Chain A
């Protein structure tokens, strides 16, 4: 499928609203100001983005969630291990600096934030656009950024050279928390997805 400017316009609206909702939910969860901004939705070459991610030498934690149904997409919440400690303190309402090691609880915080973000996006898809979605339980992996990202795009890379990637930026407690959320809608199903949404107008 050829993604046109018009497709990107619709995609920007759908995912912009979804990410706004996820942002409000994250604020409520952390009981502090949290903002997730959509940076861009773009069609990119898989090999280029994977190469860029491989240049990042840091270890990260990633929560993977799959949404199935009318709008099949994959979600990756990615955060450097140092950021996981900060996120855990915020989540547990402890003073920043309390958490200093990676363990079952820190991993569980990444898992739950992935779940909250994915559920929030799914809720908007269902309520505002009338599409059906179902979620998988999040799985968490810790590895180098490039390795995690390769796992994320692997399935799509077997079918196509291009990805439709939606990138976001996080700001928590007025501090940029270096984490990001990637959404990967299945390009092959986009036509039906957009068609379905246009029927719902």
Chain B
């Protein structure tokens, strides 16, 4: 079972994503509420993939993405954000994101994206 680290500053969003993933055959490796915590949890838990919000306090999701890829260049990080703007999307792509999902999303969108980046689709 593939293990996913869920990163979002809103605990209700983490709970919703966890629910969607668990009911679709994924295991939740852990949770983090900002980019900085995401890196330390990634190093500790070594998940198969990460879902990462962008607007978060202390260290945002783009920073979290860069830090995780700096630690593990093969990391699979999917950005999940309410920001639907070209500049934000391009920044995430340039930084090495595996996918970019705009909130609010359909449950299937996040499941399909994870399966694809993990080579399960």
Determine the residue in chain B with the shortest Cβ distance to A120. B82
Determine the residue in chain A with the shortest Cβ distance to B58. A137
Bound: A196/B118 CA distance, A: 44
Determine the residue in chain B with the shortest Cβ distance to A26. B104
Bound: A122/B12 CA distance, A: 22
Q: Are A108 and B83 in contact (CB under 8 A)?
A: no
Q: Does B15 touch A at the CB level, under 8 Å?
A: yes
Contacting chain B: which of A75-83, A111-119, A143-151?
A111-119
**Measured between C-beta atoms, what is the minimum distance from B110 to chain A in Å?**
14
Please count the residue pairs between chain A and chain B whose beta carbons lie under 8 angstroms apart in the complex: 57
Interface residue total, chain A, C-beta cutoff 8 A: 24
Bound: A122/B103 CA distance, A: 14
Q: Are B104 and A28 in contact (CB under 8 A)?
A: yes
Q: Are B12 and A137 in contact (CB under 8 A)?
A: no
A residues near B86, Cβ cutoff 8 Å: 126
**Measured between C-beta atoms, what is the minimum distance from A164 to chain B in Å?**
25
> Which residue of B9, B11, B13, B85 is within 8 Å of A126 (Cβ)?
B85
Determine the residue in chain A with the shortest Cβ distance to B57. A137
Q: Does A142 touch B at the CB level, under 8 Å?
A: no
Q: Are B82 and A105 in contact (CB under 8 A)?
A: no
Q: Are B82 and A109 in contact (CB under 8 A)?
A: no
Q: Does B56 touch A at the CB level, under 8 Å?
A: yes
**Measured between C-beta atoms, what is the minimum distance from A39 to chain B in Å?**
24
Q: Are B11 and A105 in contact (CB under 8 A)?
A: yes
Q: Are B57 and A135 in contact (CB under 8 A)?
A: no
Q: Does A5 touch B at the CB level, under 8 Å?
A: no
Q: A116-B104, A135-B55, A137-B56 are in contact. Are A109 and B12 (CB under 8 A)?
A: yes
Q: A105-B11, A105-B15, A112-B12 are in contact. Are A119 and B104 (CB under 8 A)?
A: no
Q: A28-B104, A135-B55, A137-B57 are in contact. Are A119 and B11 (CB under 8 A)?
A: no
Give B46-72 as 1s and 0s: 1 = Cβ < 8 Å from A's Cβ atoms: 000000000111000000000000000
A residues near B85, Cβ cutoff 8 Å: 122-123, 126-127
26 residue pairs bridging A and B, Cβ less than 8 Å apart:
A25-B82, A25-B104, A29-B103, A104-B11, A105-B12, A105-B15, A108-B10, A108-B11, A108-B12, A111-B9, A112-B10, A112-B12, A115-B55, A115-B82, A116-B103, A119-B83, A119-B103, A123-B82, A123-B84, A123-B85, A126-B85, A126-B86, A126-B87, A136-B55, A137-B56, A137-B57
- Chain B interface residues toward A at CB < 8 A: 9-13, 15-16, 55-57, 81-87, 103-104
- Chain A interface residues toward B at CB < 8 A: 25, 28-29, 88, 91-92, 104-105, 108-109, 111-112, 115-116, 119-120, 122-123, 126-127, 132, 135-137
